[in-house]
């Protein structure tokens, strides 16, 4: 997959980093870890190049911010 210029400019793994205007949200999941933190994971698709991005928000030591989701290719289900 060839990333568009906007996707290439997205700052990864940084909480609070902005995405870009071509990203459209496709999914949001919020889960609370009992006795711990709330984790919010939003999934976006780039309208320009089709890249899938995930934004993870949580006050824990896990990854934060933008991460590119690998193209899962053609599943053979
Ligand atoms: Zn893109």
- Asked whether residue 16 is assigned to any structural domain, the reply reads yes
Q: Give the domain extent around 39.
A: 10-69
Give every residue of the chain whose pLDDT is below 70, as ranges: 1, 72-77
Distance, CA of 51 to CA of 72 (rounded, Å): 11
pLDDT for res 62:
87
56/16 Cα distance (integer angstroms): 10
Task: Evaluate whether residue 37 is within a structural domain.
Answer: yes
Distance 18 CA to ligand 1 centre (A): 14
Return the sign of the alpha-carbon dihedral for residues 62, 41, 48, 74.
positive
Q: How many domains does the chain have?
A: 1
Q: Is the residue at 76 inside a domain?
A: no
Q: What is the pLDDT of residue 28?
A: 97
For residue 3, is it within any domain?
no
Is 4 inside a domain boundary?
no
User: If you measure from the C-alpha of residue 69 to the centroid of ligand 1, how many angstroms do you get, rounded to a whole number?
Assistant: 12
Å from CA of 70 to ligand 1 middle: 13
- Assess if residue 58 is contained within a domain: yes
Determine, yes or no, domain membership for 15.
yes
Note whether 68 and 17 are within 8 A (CB): no
Note whether residue 77 is domain-resident: no
CA 66 to chain centre: 5
């Amino acid at each position: 997959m060839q990333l568009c210029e906007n996707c290439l400019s997205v700052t990864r793994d940084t909480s609070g980093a902005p995405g870009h205007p071509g990203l459209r949200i496709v999914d949001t999941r919020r889960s609370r870890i009992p006795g711990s933190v709330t984790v919010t994971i939003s999934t976006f698709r780039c309208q320009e190049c089709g890249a899938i991005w995930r934004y993870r928000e949580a006050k824990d030591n896990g990854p934060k911010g933008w991460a590119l989701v690998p193209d899962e290719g053609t599943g053979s289900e």
